[in-house]
A and B are shown apart, each in its own frame.
Chain A
Amino acid sequence: MSVAEIVASVFLLVGCAFALLAAIGLQQFDDVFARIHAATKAITLGLLLVAIGASLLVDQRGDVVKLLLAACLQFVTAPVAAHMVGRSAYRAGTELSPKTLVDELAERRRERGA
């Protein structure tokens, strides 16, 4: 294997490992917000790593641009999507994990309501 192939392999393997970690995280945690943490961010990093790895192996330069553009778009949209799902879930009254220590948002809402 050439140097490019070795480097690309590392990126691809680590990237896919993060995807697997994201999916495992989806199973493990017991409330929506923790799952958002695990899934959306790990997968974004995974996509970036896979995109870098794949761009070392594709033939045409235009394809490299497409890969990196896709990773870039994911980076820009993922935090917004995570925030929106989290916000909507909270507003809709999704229960927090029983292990939650403090909820200052609820406190402040209660203060304002009362």
Chain B
Amino acid sequence: MSTVITVCLAMLGAAGLLCVVRLVRGASLADRVVALDTLLIVIVMGIAVSAARTGVGTFLDLLIVAALIAFIGTVTVARHIEQRGAR
């Protein structure tokens, strides 16, 4: 079981890293906001996997909060892009 968790966390870590790469490289603001949204959900998945590892669900409230903040933030930046133009 712990091997499975390690592999999962490794995949999520790699995914997070790639998101950060796109965050830095991304030609436009839209690319960056998509990368950030994806990164936030990767973090949410990390919390879920760690809850699976220990069986303790103390941090699961964070899942809902993070998912909602990711959404609201993404939509807000999207509106901003529309007004200011792609950069």
Contact = CB atoms under 8 A, between A and B. Distances in A.
Is A–B contact present in the complex under a CB 8 A cutoff? yes
B52 A70 contact: no
Interface in B5-51: 5, 7-9, 11-12, 14-19, 21-22, 28, 30-31, 33-35, 37-38, 41-42, 44-45, 48-49, 51
A51 B44 CA distance: 10
B interface SS class? helix
A interface SS class? helix
Interface of B: 1, 4-5, 7-9, 11-12, 14-19, 21-22, 28, 30-31, 33-35, 37-38, 41-42, 44-45, 48-49, 51-53, 55-57, 60-61, 63-64, 67-68, 70-71, 74-75, 77-79, 81-82, 84-86
- Shortest Cβ-Cβ A-B pairs, 7 listed: A63-B57, A23-B18, A23-B15, A70-B63, A89-B30, A54-B52, A77-B71
